[in-house]
Structure 1
Amino acid sequence: MAGHRIFGVSFASIYPHYVTKAEGKGHTKDELDEVIGWLTGYDAVGLEKAIATEVDLRTFFAEAPAMNPNATLIKGVICGIRVEEIEDPLMQQIRWMDKLVDELARGKKMSSILRGA
């Protein structure tokens, strides 16, 4: 299957970086999991399974229990690219997750990160 090489990176390999980023800015793993869960529908057990089985990002998002319909409200720039303008759906989902983690690390209120949920 064609696509960017990031699609084949395991969720397990990036998750510790997300944890470090969140905790380094005074947030918890639970808060991080809440943000990822809001986006994808994964609960704690589902996240642990994705980590343990080292699924790639393509599979992580393909098997997401319930992508949040409000994810389209995620706007802004990540890695110099506006997330709302990304054409590839999988790349957009990955960048949405990156953006939410960045917002958590920057100290944005959880109600804002979760788009009023």
Structure 2
Amino acid sequence: MTTTPEHDQRIAQMTFSSVYPHYVTKVEKKGRTVDELHEVIEWLTGFDEPTLEKHISSKITFQDFFAQAKLHPNAELITGTICGYKIQEIQTPLTKQVRYLDKLVDELAKGRKMEKILRQS
């Protein structure tokens, strides 16, 4: 299943701060912490706590959020289906990066061990 240009554009213009509270709710509901969520986000993007807080308060779009990110070299190891899309089949880089983040949050909420989520051996 490939994404449409409209879908990709909608994701690009979505603000990180509009989605972030949903990430928090999802992981906390399953007994995980905001600190663990931030660890996952930092692993994927390279954003430390102050930078992440700045991005949340500035209402940065996903397009700008990932343009400033330094994606982890093991991000390509993130595979599977999220929101009905197989991550490894998504062609648009930004949409793929957002789905990487969605997948990591999903794995965290499902109770997966942190070393597995962070693709460590």
Q: Residue 105 of structure 2: SS of its match in structure 1?
A: helix
Question: Structure 2 unaligned runs (5+)?
Answer: 1-5
* Aligned counterpart for 1:36 among listed residues 38, 41, 57: 41
Moved over 6 A (4+): none
Match of 1:6 in 2: 11
The alignment of Structure 1 onto Structure 2 pairs a total of residues equal to 115
Report the Cα distance in structure 2 between the residues aligned to 1:111 and 1:5, rounded to whole angstroms: 32
C-alpha RMSD over aligned residues: 1.2
Q: TM-score, normalised by structure 2?
A: 0.92
Q: Given the two structures, how large is their TM-score scaled by the length of structure 1?
A: 0.95
1:20-99 superposed matches below 5 A: 20-64=25-69, 66-99=70-103
Gaps of 5+ in 1: none
Aligned equivalent of 1:106: 110
Tell which has more relative contact order, 1 or 2 (C-alpha 8 A, sep 6+). 2
Alignment identity in percent? 55
1:58 aligned partner, one-letter code: Q
